Chain A
């Protein structure tokens, strides 16, 4: 009978970790609706195919379909909201070989764009 509580104790860090993860997501309360507008304004769709964005059917860069479920971003970053925001804002600093330009995306816009991209599952 003692194994069960021990097991629970062992699992505790996992719960904390999940909690942390959630709080990280909560610290990025981007607005997907605003993100949609920002994507259209910055012209992401000129190079990427992005579901749900009118005219976003670019072929220059990779399609962003189901981007929320990808393991890596741009082949170089773990796929987390923070990393996605970083990539959107300063792609050339993360991967000096990338063709994706720095589009001078503001923090708020990057947060909203990330929120929208995470709806693509």
Chain B
């Protein structure tokens, strides 16, 4: 081998791995932890990667040794029964146990720490998995609803928050990789997990259990913010919808109530009380539409209302046929619901 070739090969291999891993950084990555649970999980993940890589290399090296020795004349001497037995005990029992037991113990203790019960006064958020979006209720101490929203969850930083996870259809899984480990949402039961964000930020969450056609577009944003900002946000979400300020917005509200919108969507403070789709009381305050499928801008909203099936085929929302004037008014009204 030409000197330097090997080191160059290692550099290229290393660069390749670095490129693969760099795809994992950012707002949806378990390798970029910003919360207590994710931090513990990442601390287990890296040693697992190192040990699993060493084991793989060892096994491949032994395989190569076996292949090359087979072609060497007279090199292979048969092992005695005693030697064979010792080899099996050492490499087949002791070595695998030594490699896996620390991980099992570490995994159990991390699981216990993540599952530790929260203090009674902890903020409680109920998230219900829908087809294919997330309904979010903020609960008071007695379990009553303070506010309802969808696809965007706000929490205060450095405070453990209790999440009650439910589903009324198929199995989903709640996962914000930067903050916590996957927790399934099972029809008929309530799973509990806690999330503590250590850094303010906007993290993307994603359904992690295949749940049908639009599983891939079933996402949400989790906004971790300073406690004062969070309190202000929750107070805003608690309020009923703003009254229309212009004639155009007034017309938009009429359109919303008289067309089919109100059959499925609620706008608190109006007669729209549909429960099948997301609560739209403060839709203009959200950052995304259709479960983090598109940014929440009027262009996207217009396309979503007139033709949701082409943006997210198979979702539960039908196209709404509105006259252009009514569409314009409806967009003005929805855009005013801060």
Q: Which A residues touch B182, using CB under 8 A?
A: none
Known: A41-B297, A42-B297. A58 touches B328 (CB 8 A): no
Nearest chain B CB to A42 CB, angstrom units:
5
Total number of A residues with any Cβ neighbor in B under 8 Å: 20
Known: A59-B307, A60-B307. A101 touches B299 (CB 8 A): yes
Within 8 Å of chain A (Cβ to Cβ): is B219?
no
Within 8 Å of chain B (Cβ to Cβ): is A10?
no
Q: Which A residues touch B303, using CB under 8 A?
A: 43, 45-47, 58, 60
Within 8 Å of chain A (Cβ to Cβ): is B163?
no
User: CB-nearest residue of chain A relative to B294?
Assistant: A43
Within 8 Å of chain A (Cβ to Cβ): is B37?
no
B298 touches A104 (CB 8 A): yes
Q: Which A residues touch B304, using CB under 8 A?
A: 46
A101 touches B306 (CB 8 A): no
Contact with B along A89-121 (1 / 0, CB 8 A): 000100001111111100000000000000000
B307 touches A43 (CB 8 A): no
Q: Which A residues touch B297, using CB under 8 A?
A: 41-43, 103
Within 8 Å of chain B (Cβ to Cβ): is A57?
yes
In the complex, which range does the number of interface residues on chain B fall in?
A: 10 to 19
Number of A-B contacts (CB under 8 A): 60
Contact of B324 among A58, A99, A102, A103 (CB under 8 A): A99
Q: Which A residues touch B311, using CB under 8 A?
A: 46, 58
Known: A46-B303, A47-B302, A47-B303. A101 touches B295 (CB 8 A): no
Nearest chain A CB to B271 CB, angstrom units:
25
Within 8 Å of chain B (Cβ to Cβ): is A44?
yes
Contact of B306 among A43, A45, A60 (CB under 8 A): A60
B295 touches A43 (CB 8 A): yes
Known: A58-B310, A60-B306, A60-B307. A46 touches B328 (CB 8 A): no
Q: Which B residues touch A98, using CB under 8 A?
A: 324
User: CB-nearest residue of chain A relative to B309?
Assistant: A59
Contact with A along B275-317 (1 / 0, CB 8 A): 0000000000000000000110111111110110011000000
User: CB-nearest residue of chain A relative to B299?
Assistant: A43
Within 8 Å of chain A (Cβ to Cβ): is B331?
yes
Within 8 Å of chain A (Cβ to Cβ): is B42?
no
B216-237: which residues lie under 8 A (CB-CB) from chain A? none
Q: Which B residues touch A41, using CB under 8 A?
A: 295, 297
User: CB-nearest residue of chain B relative to A58?
Assistant: B303
Q: Which A residues touch B52, using CB under 8 A?
A: none
Contact of A103 among B298, B307, B325, B327 (CB under 8 A): B298
Q: Which A residues touch B302, using CB under 8 A?
A: 43, 46-47, 60, 99-101
Q: Which B residues touch A42, using CB under 8 A?
A: 297, 299
Q: Which B residues touch A104, using CB under 8 A?
A: 298
Nearest chain A CB to B235 CB, angstrom units:
27
Instruction: Name the 4 nearest CB pairs between A and B, nearest first.
Output: A46-B303, A43-B299, A99-B324, A43-B300
B residues with CB within 8 A of A: 294-295, 297-304, 306-307, 310-311, 324-325, 327-328, 331
Q: A43-B298, A47-B303, A58-B310 are in contact. List 5 more A-B contacts (CB 8 A).
A: A43-B301, A46-B307, A59-B310, A97-B324, A97-B325
8 contacts between A and B (CB under 8 A): A43-B294, A43-B299, A44-B299, A46-B303, A46-B311, A97-B324, A98-B324, A99-B328
